[in-house]
Amino acid sequence: MNKALKIFITGVNGQLGHDCIRVLKEKGYSNFLGTDIDTLDITDEKAVNKMILDYKPNIIFHNAAYTAVDKAENNADLVYKVNSDAPLYIAKAAKEVGAIMFLISTDYVFDGKGSTPFEINSPKNGLSIYGKSKSLGEDNVIKTLDKYFILRISWLFGINGNNFVKTMINLAKSGKKELNIVDDQIGSPTYSYDLAKKMVEMMETNKYGIYHVTNDGFTSWADFASKIFSECNLDIKVNKVSTNDYLKMNPNQARRPLNSRLSKESLIKNGFSLLPTWQDALKRYIHQELKQ
Ligand SMILES: NC(=O)c1ccc[n+]([C@@H]2O[C@H](COP(=O)([O-])OP(=O)(O)OC[C@H]3O[C@@H](n4cnc5c(N)ncnc54)[C@H](OP(=O)(O)O)[C@@H]3O)[C@@H](O)[C@H]2O)c1
């Protein structure tokens, strides 16, 4: 491992950025610069360019994004600036300094049709403003740089920020006795700590390209919720509902893919190990980090 590498990280106040810093420290890297909107607005091209050209990183972990999927539907201008234009600014600066860029993307670049896992080169067809904007962000990086890692992830949970796991626990603790949870969206939870470890492993290789990086195994939101409640010994009934019925009860939501299964073929082909199962990740998160 080359501990002299300089790493530039965006989104450090978010779930993944926080764990990137944590893993870098754990692995003994000390040359890194973390930013978030309070220190660098990534939609400001001049500021992005200046900070990256001044710092001259070897690696860029670009985690920051507009991540509020439902709110994004009514804020398209800002969402495209953050999720599509900013990756282009960062990629251009990365090219100037010769840095390797990681862009974190999403299962929402796909339309979720069918039931087989999406491959890295499956046609993209995002259903939401968020999904389309992230897809354009990917395209902007690919057309600008050769040395990139685009990691598509899904259903992220980490210690620093809000996520499905925390929401479920809070709802159960607030006294709810039953919840209606969607059962026909199938995908994989991703623990930001496990993902950050994989990013740090990948950054010292030259196996550039697109990867799908989630915890192993597939589940539905309803079964994920049931597992969270059983891990925490919370007594709450999960009513399985279809996406259509859920949308009738909760209108004004962005469309989400039903099939969010992502194939891990590119990890395997390039000799990277798969992440632990989502059940194992959830257990560690709940008992070691949330201390439930
Ligand atoms: N969360 C998921 O389930 C999920 C699923 C698939 C892919 N992803 C992708 O994974 C990555 C990490 O997600 P996450 O959950 O860690 O995100 P997060 O917790 O929402 O953190 C994103 C960070 O980016 C910051 N940010 C937003 N606009 C910015 C701007 N203009 N300039 C600088 N920083 C800005 C946010 O600040 P504010 O909070 O102040 O806005 C926030 O601190 C993102 O690229 C996301 O698209 C996430």
pLDDT tens per residue, range 29-57: 999 999 999 999 999 999 999 999 999 99
DSSP 191: E
Q: What are phi and psi for residue 103, nearest 5 degrees?
A: -115, 125
Q: Which domain holds residue 21?
A: 7-162+190-215+262-275
What span, in angstroms and rounded, lies between the C-alpha atoms of 251 and 264? 33
Q: Are 93 and 50 in contact (CB under 8 A)?
A: no
Taking alpha carbons only, the member of 252, 191, 257, 175 closest to residue 220 is 257
| The residue to which tokens 């080169």 are assigned | 121
Q: Mutation test of ligand 1: which of 67, 83, 153, 198 has the most ligand atoms closer than 8 Å to its C-beta?
A: 67
**Residue from 66, 130, 148, 246 carrying the catalytic annotation:** 130
Q: In sequence order, what are the beta bridge partners of 188? A: none
CATH number at residue 125: 3.40.50.720
pLDDT tens readout for residues 126-185: 999 999 999 999 999 999 999 999 999 999 999 999 999 999 999 999 999 999 999 999
The helix/strand/coil state of 237 is strand
* Inter-residue contact 117 to 262 (CB < 8 Å): yes
Residue 1 clears pLDDT 90, i.e. is over it? no
CB of 16 closer than 6 A to ligand 1? yes
Mean pLDDT, rounded, of the chain: 97
Quote the CA–CA distance of 224 and 286 in Å, as a whole number: 13
> Is any atom of ligand 1 closer than 6 Å to the C-beta of 190?
no
Evaluate if pTM is beyond 0.95: yes
| Inside any domain, residue 74 | yes
Which residue in the block uniquely carries the two structure tokens 């962000």?
137
The answer to the question of residue 23 being in a domain is yes
- CA of 8 relative to ligand 1 center, distance in Å: 16
79-127 pLDDT, tens per residue?
999 999 999 999 999 999 999 999 999 999 999 999 999 999 999 999 9
Alpha-carbon distances of 222 from 11, 171, 229, rounded to whole Å: 29, 14, 11
Query: Would residue 36 count as lying in a domain?
Result: yes
Q: Residue 252: is its pLDDT beyond 90?
A: no
Only one residue has tokens 């990139």, namely 148
- Pocket of ligand 1 contains residue 64 by CB under 6 Å: yes
Cβ of residue 156 lying under 6 Å from some atom of ligand 1? yes
Ligand 1 atom with minimal separation from the 82 CA: 31
Number of domains present in the structure of the chain: 1
Q: How far apart are CA 195 and CA 180, in angstroms?
A: 29
CA distance 70 to 256: 10
Q: Is position 80 annotated as part of the catalytic site? A: no
The answer to whether the CB of 19 is under 6 A from ligand 1 is no
Q: Has residue 47 been placed in a domain?
A: yes
In a domain, residue 20? The reply is: yes
Q: Report the amino acid identity of residue 192.
A: S
Dist. CA 97–CA 55, nearest whole Å: 9
Q: Note whether residue 110 is domain-resident.
A: yes
Distances 181 to 73, 126, 127, 171, 290 between C-alpha atoms, Å: 22, 23, 20, 12, 22
Task: Report how far ligand 1's centroid is from the alpha carbon of 233 (Å).
Answer: 30
